[in-house]
Amino acid sequence: MRTQTPPQNQTQLSHEVVGNIYPKKTATMRFTYKKCLGPLLVSGLTLLALFYAWSPGTSSVVDVRPRQGSPLQKLLNETILGIVSGYHNDIAYHIKEDVACRLALNTCVCLADKETLHLPFSNLLFPRAWAHNVSQAFLESHPDPEGAKRHRAQEYNSFQRRSYSPADELIIAEAGSPLQYPTQGVKVRPLKTIIIPGLGLKEETRSNHVVYLTATLGTFDVAATVDRVDVKGEGEKHMTLSSPLLSALNRQLQFVTYTNTVFHPKTADTVRFATEAHQSFFSIKIGHATVPKLYNSGSQKEYNISALVTIATKTFLRYDKLKDLIDSVRQYYPTVTIVIADDNKHPQPVTGPHIEHYIMPFGKGWFAGRNLAVSQVTTKYVLWADDDFIFTANTKLERMVDILERTTLDLVGGAVREVTGYSATYRHTISVEEGGEEGNCLHIRNGYHHVIEGFPNCVVADAVINFFMGRTDKVLQVGFDPRLSRRGHLEFFVDALGSLHIGSCSDIIVSHASKIKLPWTKTESQKAYDKFRYSLSSADSNISNEIFYFKDRFKCMTSH
């Protein structure tokens, strides 16, 4: 491709025009530009970092009895092994690294992010993940670390046995098998009877067709008989059905029943369905139906917040802050019930309409107070608010109720506005990575999963700020560990992982009373509060490490 050189007069004209608009650079101006280049570069990097930190990213909008080791379980495992080993292992394969690297290896490690940039305030601009070795922190201060490790392993094995369900086992339906059977969705109440749906046999015509059924926690029978079908083992764990007519046998299979005979509130039976040459397995879930928890809050066109929501809080040595909270609530919600848990040494009366004041033993603690307060809530939703929060016109409880009513969320957090005007939402994602015998790794990161369709200011996350509304029964189901007496927040959301569906809305805002106090202006009550709140003993730290290490079986946690 040929390039043309502009005529000389055109080039000169261009230079003249530019020179008229921008005077020629002097030596002083060149020095000034060089001098300004550094701050401009830093400013640019700062803006880029802030944009990166605040940008929501490319998130999409998204609408007791152990049964391990049973003969059937071993047979199931052998069958799966046989299927897998029967593949053509002599065919070459090529690993896709970008896919394989995402596979779980059960080898998580405790590593912090390395510092890559050495700029002023780089930690603020580009937050690095720190790492806390929970195993080391807990075991170093333990008098018998090896004993603690053994104890934890024993407890974990016991937990696995208690929580094991055959319904979680892998079952593979062999390709080309003549057996037709349900793979999921079969349920029976404890000690009750059902017809097993979907049983059938599809094979070539022969002199006699035979199928076998075997169970562990129940028996088989037939709800009706079909001519020319021989049924053996009615009312037993093993039943055989045979017929010279395939159509008759298939008709009989439509009436096969299963009766649970071993009571268990929640488990599953693995059924073996087989012919002479083929066998398959499927699960029948055994358990009580979940009893719904319905709240009679009236049938009104608009949300009746007083009938739907109770505000719960915990107070200690801050009656002045508590009064401000109550006054602000009453300005917007005069009839909403406020439940107060109080562990002051010398409790003062807190009275008024729609107020419930519960006295606890002195210094019982933060999470114990949360448990008490939430346990007294009788409405569908509970709103947690610290005793130093202040309601404003932007504290829209109706908004929280609306999103909980219209989505599958169990809990939704808001934002807390500080005296500086900055509003915090504390949105985090939480994940647990398998780590083998030494325990797992807990990873906490700033951010969220995705925006909620229909609620552009709301996202799905795993942990939110200390101002949230939740379904009362679901919050009670998770509970608050009462050993956390001085500090605790993340621990609740770790316990809720896998149980609660959590959201966060930035447009529902509560104000935070100012914490800025000059030392000589603090009252004795404020000084006493600071002493209890911020003077953590080694015992308090050990409790936190014990919870993460022993109770949650973590060996490491990483976070921003």
Provide block-wise average pLDDT over 10 residues at a time, the chain (560 residues): 40 34 39 48 49 49 59 64 56 74 80 76 76 92 92 88 80 81 92 94 94 97 94 97 95 94 93 94 93 80 92 93 96 98 94 96 93 97 96 96 93 93 93 94 95 94 97 96 88 95 96 71 67 66 90 94
The β-bridge relationship of strands 450-452 and 355-359 is unpaired
Would you state the pLDDT for residue 89?
A: 58
H/E element holding 244? none
Residue type, 289: A
Contact between 373 and 310 (Cβ < 8 Å): no
Would you state the pLDDT for residue 531?
A: 66
What residue ranges in 362-517 does DSSP mark as E strands? 381-384, 389-390, 411-417, 423-424, 428-433, 440-446, 450-452, 455-461, 468-471, 502-512
Would you state the pLDDT for residue 44?
A: 54
**4: phi then psi, degrees, rounded to nearest 5:** -100, 140
Would you state the pLDDT for residue 537?
A: 65
CA angle 212, 217, 219 (to 5 degrees): 50
Asked whether this chain's domains 168-287 and 305-559 adopt the same fold, the reply is: no
Query: Which residues neighbour 558 within 8 Å (Cβ) at sequence distance 6 or greater?
Result: 110, 111, 112, 129, 130, 131, 132, 441, 442, 443, 444
What's the Cα-to-Cα distance from 13 to each of 9, 23, 25, 465, rounded to whole Å? 6, 15, 19, 63
Would you state the pLDDT for residue 3?
A: 40
Would you state the pLDDT for residue 33?
A: 44
CA distance 170 to 167: 8
Among the residues of 433-549, which ranges form H helices? 472-478, 490-496, 524-534, 538-546
CA distance 113 to 298: 53
Virtual torsion, Cα 279, 285, 286, 291, nearest 10 deg: -170
Tokens 């966060």 appear where? 504
CA distance 42 to 34: 13
DSSP-derived 3-state class of residue 332: helix
Tokens 């009989």 appear where? 252
Burial of 37: CB neighbours in 10 Å, binned 0-12, 13-18, 19+ = exposed
Give the domain ranges of the chain: 168-287, 305-559
Architecture of domain 168-287: Sandwich (2.60)
Total H helices, total E strands in the chain: 16, 26
Strand partners, 460: 450, 503
CA distance 126 to 230: 74
Burial profile 313-322: b = 16 or more Cβ within 10 angstroms, e = fewer: bbbbbbbebb
Q: What share of the chain is helix, strand, coil (3-state, %, to 5)?
A: 35, 25, 45
CA distance 174 to 431: 34
In this prediction the pTM is: 0.80
CA distance 205 to 175: 20
The β-bridge relationship of strands 309-315 and 381-384 is parallel
In the 3-class helix/strand/coil scheme, how is 489-501 assigned residue by residue? CHHHHHHHCCCCC
Asked if the 305-559 domain carries CATH number 3.30.70.20, the reply is: no
Among the residues of 238-348, which ranges form H helices? 246-253, 305-308, 319-332
Would you state the pLDDT for residue 530?
A: 66
What's the Cα-to-Cα distance from 29 to each of 18, 33, 34, 53, rounded to whole Å? 17, 6, 9, 35
